[in-house]
């Protein structure tokens, strides 16, 4: 009798039923699906934010280089050694090359290359900024530099891509109408005429790489608006 009751108590112990197992699996699947969706969402958000930071830094870097050249426009080193090998002095005749443009600019300034020393280091730099089409149909901001060396030979450097996926590059010119050294008005290139340019406003707009559909949908173009006083022209 006692042995029979022992076997009965063992067989009366309950386990997990099939229904309970299915319910547990469904709950686990829902939980995993939720975690996966959060992971995918966070991954997309990270990719978008990474592209936002990258395009903002790229626009700022390209603008810094452009403004650096604009500040140098018209610089002429007042130095007796500042001349070519034939004895003629280096002169900056076209600080900002005419005809002016609303979407490109070319500046010229004297530059001393310290690595070459005196007198070979004295050079004339002409730097152009413009938009050039890329193979995929987008636009690149490109920088092209021509160096007139000490012996008057020309060195044409390879075209440098400063910024890809550019939406717009716009220039507006600050002019001095009465030659008092003060900025009187901002005008487009066609309205400058013979007036003296003493400042340039640059508006540069670019977008991130469009190959990522999430970035294409979520990230709008970034614009940087900067004004630089062309100090070497103000003193002319």
pTM: 0.79
Residue with tokens 């080193």: 77
* CB-neighbour burial class of residue 52 (10 A; exposed 0-12, middle 13-18, buried 19+): middle
Rounded Cα gap, residues 64 and 204, in angstroms: 11
Q: How confident is the model at residue 116 (pLDDT cuts 50, 70, 90)?
A: very high
Report the pLDDT value the prediction gives residue 164, as an integer from 0 to 100. Answer: 94
DSSP, res 194: T
Rounded Cα gap, residues 155 and 59, in angstroms: 28
Query: Under DSSP, is residue 44 helix (H, G, I), strand (E, B) or coil?
Result: helix
Q: How confident is the model at residue 236 (pLDDT cuts 50, 70, 90)?
A: low
**C-alpha 23, offset from chain centre:** 55
Q: How confident is the model at residue 52 (pLDDT cuts 50, 70, 90)?
A: confident
Indicate the domain borders of the chain.
Answer: 49-234
Question: Residues of the chain with pLDDT > 90: what percent?
Answer: 54
Report the pLDDT value the prediction gives residue 35, as an integer from 0 to 100. Answer: 85
Edge-first strand listing for the sheet containing 185-187 = 185-187, 166-176, 196-206, 222-229
Decide if pLDDT at 11 tops 70.
no
Rounded Cα gap, residues 230 and 222, in angstroms: 25
Decide if pLDDT at 10 tops 60.
no
Both tokens of residue 99?
């005809």
- Provide mean pLDDT across the span 36-58: 76
Both tokens of residue 85?
């090998």
Rounded Cα gap, residues 139 and 30, in angstroms: 46
């Amino acid at each position: 009798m006692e042995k029979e009751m022992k076997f009965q108590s063992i067989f009366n112990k309950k386990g997990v039923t099939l229904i309970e197992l299915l319910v547990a699996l469904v709950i686990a699947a829902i939980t995993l699906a939720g975690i996966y969706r959060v992971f995918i969402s966070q991954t997309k958000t990270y990719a978008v934010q990474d592209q936002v930071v990258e395009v903002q830094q790229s626009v700022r870097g390209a603008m810094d280089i452009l403004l650096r050249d604009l500040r140098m426009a018209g610089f002429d080193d007042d130095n007796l050694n500042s001349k070519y090998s034939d004895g003629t002095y280096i002169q900056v005749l076209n600080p900002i090359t005419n005809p002016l443009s609303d979407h490109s600019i070319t500046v010229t300034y004297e530059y001393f290359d310290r690595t070459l020393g005196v007198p070979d280091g004295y050079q004339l730099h002409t730097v152009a900024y413009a938009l050039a089409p890329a193979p995929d149909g987008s636009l690149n901001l490109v920088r092209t530099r021509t160096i007139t060396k000490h012996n008057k030979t020309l060195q044409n450097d390879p075209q440098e891509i400063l910024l890809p996926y550019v939406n717009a590059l716009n220039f507006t010119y600050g002019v001095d109408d009465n030659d008092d050294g003060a900025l009187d008005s901002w005008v487009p290139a066609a309205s400058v005429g013979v007036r003296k340019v003493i400042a340039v406003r640059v508006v540069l707009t670019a977008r991130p790489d469009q190959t990522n559909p999430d970035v294409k949908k979520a990230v709008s173009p970034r614009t940087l608006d900067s004004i630089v006083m062309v100090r070497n022209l103000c003193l002319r």
